[in-house]
Amino acid sequence: MALIKQNKKISENIFLMDVFYDGEIFPGQFFMLRAWDTDPLLPRPISVHDYHDGVVSFLYQVVGKGTRILSELQDGDDVSLVGPLGKGFPDVPGDIVLIGGGIGTAPLYYLLRDHKTNYPDSNVRVYLGFSDESYRVDQFSEFADDVILDIGGFITEKVTVNAGETVLACGPDIMLRAVSGVVPKENPLYLSLEARMACGLGVCLGCNIETPLGNRKVCKDGPVFSREELGL
């Protein structure tokens, strides 16, 4: 069990939970969270939004029973964390472009902060798309060279990619498909996928996806995949 430092609402149905944690975490990895016994049956996968000074942060949207229970936890309560899980984003020494849609912006913040810490001279442009209310934009602006925001439209229509830039994206499937359409084939592209998960550990096959290279488990082989792996 891990101790919750703070759990607060930051926007409509959007919560930020800070939990004390000690260990190594790479951007794009996730944890399985649980704060209940048997109902719901399974823990819920949530990405690492940020990690520093012994505190891991989760930015999450309340969509059902599991996330509602998480949102009702109080500062000082315990939550079960299994992880960090998954392979996360690749380490890219050069200029990067981040594209996030809705709650898919969550894992991009730790990626941004980690990248700027390791490669302060690199350029990072961040595209954030929200259907209605935006959140955490100021935090992204603190570290990014440029933040392009879209509310209510299609963020992918604003995306430009220059030669040599690597693009990393997370969001709904439909947005990720649009991203693969606007990013030139010459630019490396990595997409963080979502799937319903049971174990999160690569044993239940519940998160299996078919790719041109064969079956892949989103929890263990991903959640981040290159466009080549996905055939996009």
Ligand X SMILES: Cc1cc2nc3c(=O)[nH]c(=O)nc-3n(C[C@H](O)[C@H](O)[C@H](O)COP(=O)(O)OP(=O)(O)OC[C@H]3O[C@@H](n4cnc5c(N)ncnc54)[C@H](O)[C@@H]3O)c2cc1C
- Sites of contact with ligand X (CB under 6 A): 30, 40, 44-47, 59-61, 63-67, 103, 106, 194-197, 223
63 binds, among ligand FES, ligand X, none (CB under 5 to 8 A by kind): ligand X
DSSP helix, strand, coil percent of the chain (3-state; round to 5): 20, 35, 45
Q: What is the dihedral of CA 164, 227, 144, 121, to 10 degrees?
A: -40
Q: Which lies closer to ligand FES via its Cβ, residue 42 or residue 149?
A: 42
Neighbours of 123 (CB within 10 A): 15
Name which of residues 190 to 229 contact ligand FES (CB under 6 A).
197-200, 202-207, 217, 219
CB of 10 to ligand FES, least distance (A): 28
Shortest distance, CB of residue 186 to ligand X, whole angstroms?
A: 28
Nearer to ligand FES, 49 or 217 (CB): 217
What's the one-letter identity of residue 130? F
Q: How far is the CB of 82 from ligand FES (least distance, A)?
A: 11
**Contact partner at residue 71 from ligand X, ligand FES, none, CB < 5 to 8 Å by partner kind:** none
150-154's contacts with Cβ under 8 Å and 24+ in sequence apart are: 153/129, 154/129, 154/178
CB closer to ligand FES, 185 vs 196: 196
Residue for token pair 């990393």: 168
Handedness of CA 175, 15, 222, 183 (dihedral sign): positive
Amino acid at 78: D
Least Å distance between CB 222 and ligand FES? 9
Number of residues that bind ligand FES (CB under 6 A): 12
